[in-house]
Amino acid sequence: MMRKTSLKLLTAALLWGVTAVLVPLALGAAFQAMFNAWNVNVDTVTRAPIWAQWVYTWHGSFITLISDGLLIALCVIAFHAQIERPNKRDGLSALVGFGIAILLAVLFTLLDSLRPEHPPHFSLGLIPLCGLMLISVLAEELLTKRVLYDTVSAKWGKLPATIAATLAFFLIGGGLGGTIISGVNVALLGLLCCLLYDREGLWTPVLFRWGWGFATVFLLGQGGGDHSVWRFYGVSETLLTGGDSGFACGLMWTAILMALNMWMIFKQQRVSKDSGNTKRQFNFQFSIFNSKTKKG
C-alpha cells in the first residue's frame, strides 16, 4: 500500500513536470521556429499579415491552454479524478472572491492609494482570457486536491494532506518567485483552498480563485494586462496594497486570508464538535434501547 501511494505521488509530480515545464518549452520552441520562418518579431509584427499578428499575440495563451488542458485530461484518465457539476453554493464562492477584490479597490482608491491609468474600456480578448484563467485554476486545483490531497489523506490523514497540498500549491503558484509578503499570501491561499475543498468540494476553491483573479487582473488590471477594463497603479501605501504588483502582494490581502483561514478552521472545529456530540447522543440512546429490549 505504501509503495502504491508513493508511486501515485511520483506519477503526479512527473505529470506536473511534463505539462508545466516540458510541454510549454517544446511548444514555445516550435512557435519561435515558426516566427523565425515567417520573419515575425517584436519589430516586424505590425507589418505582418493579420493572421500572423493574431498567432504572434495569442501564442502564449495557446501554450497555456494546451498544457493545462493536457494536465486536466491526464488527471482524469490516470487518477480517475472526478469533476462534478458546480452548484449554486459553489457560485457564491466566486462572488466572494470577486467582492473582496472590488472592496479593496474601492477602499484603496478612496484612501488615494491607487489611481486608474486609463478610462474603462472593454476588449473582446477579455472573454477567452477569462475562460483560460478558469481552465488554469481548475488544472491546479485538480492536481493539488483531487490527486495529491486525496491520495495523502487516504493514507496518512487530513493534516499531512493539507500540508502536502499547501506546499505543492506554494511551489506551483510561484511562492518562491516574489517578495516575502507574496510568498506568505500564496501559502495562505493554498491553505484556504485546502480547507474549502475539504468542506465544500472541488469547485468552491476553483471559483473563489477565479472570482478573485477575474476581478483583480481583468477588471482592475492589477499586475498589468492589455485586455483589462481598468488598469490601476500604486500612488502610495505600496506595502499595504501591493502597488503595481497587485493586491496579491499586499498586507491587506494577507490579513483577509488569515481571517478567512481562521474562520474556516473555527467552522471545521465546530462541525467536528457537533458531530461528536451527535454521535455520543446516538450511542447513548441506542444502548438504552438495547437495555430496555433485554429487560422485556
Mean pLDDT of the chain: 84
In whole angstroms, how far apart are CA 294 and each of 284, 286, 290? Answer: 16, 12, 6
Model pLDDT, residue 129: 86
Report which secondary-structure segment, H or E, holds 286. Answer: helix 251-295
Q: Which residue has the higher pLDDT, 175 or 290?
A: 175
pLDDT tier, 62 (very low <50, low <70, confident <90, very high otherwise) = very high
Given a cut of 60, whether residue 224 has pLDDT beyond it is: no
pLDDT tier, 281 (very low <50, low <70, confident <90, very high otherwise) = very low
The whole model's pTM is what? 0.85
Q: State the Cα–Cα distance between residues 228 and 214, nearest whole angstrom.
A: 9
Model pLDDT, residue 239: 84
Average confidence (pLDDT) over 199-216: 90
Radius of gyration (C-alpha) of the chain in whole angstroms: 23
Given a cut of 60, whether residue 280 has pLDDT beyond it is: no
- Nine-digit cell at 54? 493574431
Q: State the Cα–Cα distance between residues 204 and 193, nearest whole angstrom.
A: 8
Q: Domain segments of the chain: what residues? A: 1-80, 87-274
pLDDT tier, 288 (very low <50, low <70, confident <90, very high otherwise) = very low
Inter-residue contact 72 to 135 (CB < 8 Å): yes
**Helix 88-110 / helix 180-200 crossing angle, nearest 10 deg:** 150
Instruction: List, for residues 84-123, the tens digit of each pLDDT value.
Output: 888 877 788 888 989 998 888 888 877 777 777 777 877 7
Average confidence (pLDDT) over 139-148: 94
Query: Under the phi-then-psi rule, with left for phi > 0, alpha for psi from -120 to 50, and beta for the rest, what region is 224?
Result: left
CA-CA-CA-CA torsion sign (97, 98, 101, 106): negative
Average confidence (pLDDT) over 135-157: 93
Buried b (16+ CB within 10 A) or exposed e, 21-38: eebbeebeeebeeebeee
